[in-house]
Amino acid sequence: MNDRTPSGSAPGRLLLPRLFRAQAARTPEAPAVLGADGSVLTYAALEQLAFRHAAALRARGVAPGDFVGVCLPRGPELVAALLGVWFAGGAYVPLDPAYPQARLALVLEDSGAAVVLAAATTAGRLPAGTAVVDVAEATDAVPAGEGGAGLAAADPARPAYLLHTSGSTGRPKGVLVPHAGIANRVRWLAHRHKLGPADRFLLKTTIGFDAAGLELFAPLISGGAVALAPQDAERDPAALLRAVAEHGVTVLQGVPSVYRRLVEQSGWEAATRLRLVFSAGEPLHAELCRALAERAPRAEIWNTYGPTEASVDITEHRWDPAQETGAVPIGRPIAHMRALVLDPAGRPVPVGVPGELHAGGVGLALGYHGRPGQTAERFVPDPYGAPGERLYRTGDRVRWLADGTLEYLGRLDQQVKVNGVRIETGEVEAALAGHPWVRAAVAAAVPDGSGGHRLVAWVQSRGERLRPDELRTFLRRSLPDPLVPAVYVPVAEFPLTANGKIDRSALPEPVAAAAAAEDAHVPVRTAAERVVAESWAQILGIPAERIGATHDFFQLGGASLMLSRLAEALSAAAGTRVALRSLFTATTVEAQAALLADAPAPAAGDPA
């Protein structure tokens, strides 16, 4: 009953650079990229810009197979830069400018990228001595119309990109995704869902996550357009929904954590063109599908599943409106992929019996860059395939259902997902252990009460209790925001099992323990602090009088996806504009009250 019938087909074996060029030749004047500022880049203009980036890279010695860093914010230049790396024969290494500089340095060191495409605004984020090609200068490197000469042909077996995921050893590990793998995934999406010139796919995923590849390249091989979400829109459900409406977005992908906040927003009546909604990264439940369907009645809702090591996705399943409750299956394999459910001895299990999901097929990554031991551990010979074929051990527990679809049952290890982001808790724990006053730490994902999860750290200090804001500031020097715990629980001693290991099941309940450990109640002292406390009370559902000036939003049960509501509430109550990003670092009542004093007045016509 393993390796069930695939969900659909993906014709051909052409790779993405060639498919994009063919589309640009067919529809040179069609819109390819729609800017958040209303600008439009045609296919011809995008192709020429990519040619110029490729020429600039070749002039700097980039050869086929080389890694090239790309450190750019979301914008037309980012799209052109990624294509330009491919046209030069290289593999791109995404470097999110919002990541800590220490993290960017680790990724660059691990990749060995000799050169980075960057802008004047992002080059300063890179380590000293990095060879940078300024995208503004690259646009003048080749006269218009001459950039297509000498393009390198993509090789299906070579990496298209090197993407770093959370690593259990405390350092991010690079996944080598081949051209053949990502091309198969994107071709399948375009063919299966009949993408065409009328489609607008919203690019909202940060470049450091593999799902961004679908948002970027699926429309560009289909004659559609990439619609760019405003910066930080992935954290702001209201801004996200506005972008869907303003761009006439037809295809949206996201994670359930974001969709749960999105359905709470007003303005769905303007999102009339949505026809495809994809969910990934976390278990999807029918109740959320129903809420989405009520707001976007023309849209099909699809649940997709897969790790970076399998070129984004392995399986997919369309939600059946007849299913009113419970988890939506993760479905059947996509084209040219295989799914096997095996027991610990590597034997196929019968229908209904849980086992570990193993993935096979053209989408498998080449392995982990520079980590042969980890590659051999996770990418194993396929005893049921042709000689030389491999399987990827996903670490996910699943079972086949009688109808031939897969049901996701959870993880077999300590890897977790929060807001759709894959997190190895060992990396978080290692970062915490680097604090000079942390004796030991444990990290885990716990339910947040609204269907999602929040990342929690239990911390044993070497002396006085460490403040949550102090720990967050320390971690943000090395970890991206999704890997920074929301809640910190002080522990005097960790509970132990009989064999002396930390007993994770006996750790104190996080929110209650964190709230109890907060500093002695300091009543709010100013009108601004009162505004903040009352805004928190509305969002968190706790009495305002229980909220003191030194209390921490996250310690009292707040979550990052609530911050857009908080920013709106503070802006409306105080008549000032509070930046969403500032609330990630100003987490106490008194700190947010200080923001109100410094915030600018809203411009005429700005949304609340």
Domain 415-516: CATH superfamily is ANL, C-terminal domain (3.30.300.30)
Q: How many residues does the chain have?
A: 608
Span of 151-155, 402-406, 472-476 with lowest mean pLDDT: 151-155
Bigger pLDDT: 243 or 585? 243
173: left (phi over 0), alpha (psi -120 to 50) or beta: beta
Q: What is the pLDDT of residue 188?
A: 96
Instruction: Name the band, by pLDDT with cuts 50, 70 and 90, for residue 497.
Output: confident
> Which pLDDT score is estimated for 1?
45
State pLDDT tens for residues 566-577.
999 999 888 888
Token pair 């960057």 is at which residue?
A: 118
What's the pLDDT band for 599 if we cut at 50, 70, 90? low
Phi, psi angle pair for 178, to nearest 5°? -80, 160
pLDDT of residue 604: 46
Question: Which pLDDT does position 6 carry in this prediction?
Answer: 58
Which CATH class, in words, describes the domain spanning 527-598?
mainly alpha
**CA separation for the pair 268, 262 (Å, rounded):** 9
Confidence of residue 250 (pLDDT cuts 50, 70, 90): very high
d(CA 4, CA 15): 26
Of 367, 370, 312, 392, the C-alpha closest to 107 is 370
Percentage of the chain modeled with pLDDT above 70: 93
Of all residues in the chain, the percent with pLDDT exceeding 90 is: 73
pTM recorded for the entire structure: 0.85
Q: What is the CATH number of domain 16-399?
A: 3.40.50.12780
Instruction: Tell me the C-alpha distance between 413 and 397, whole Å.
Output: 10
> For residue 406, which phi and psi values (nearest 5 degrees)?
-100, 140
pLDDT tens readout for residues 338-396? 999 999 999 999 999 999 999 999 999 999 999 999 999 999 999 999 999 999 999 99
Question: What one-letter code names the amino acid at 69?
Answer: G
Confidence band of 292 (pLDDT split at 50, 70, 90): very high
User: How is the chain split into domains, by residue range?
Assistant: 16-399, 415-516, 527-598
Residue with tokens 């990827």: 392
pLDDT at 608: 41
Residue 297 CB partners (closer than 8 Å, separation 6+): none
Which one, of 474, 520, 517, lies nearest residue 492 by Cα? 517
Angle subtended at Cα 587 by Cα 552 and Cα 559, rounded to the nearest 5 degrees = 80
pLDDT at 9 over 60: no
Q: Which of 355, 310, 302 is nearest to 329 (CA)?
A: 302
Give residue 449's pLDDT band: very low, low, confident or very high (50, 70, 90): confident
Q: What is the DSSP string of 57-73?
A: HHHTT--TT-EEEEE--
The structure tokens 């405003």 sit at 230
Best CA proximity match to 192, nearest among 65, 296, 331: 331
Tell me the per-residue pLDDT of 179-217, one tens digit each, with 9 for 90 and over: 999 999 999 999 999 999 999 999 999 999 999 999 999
User: Tell me: the pLDDT tens digits for 39-72?
Assistant: 999 999 999 999 999 999 999 999 999 999 999 9
Q: What is the DSSP letter of 342?
A: E
Nearest to 295 by CA among 237, 247, 234: 237
First to last CA, the chain: 54
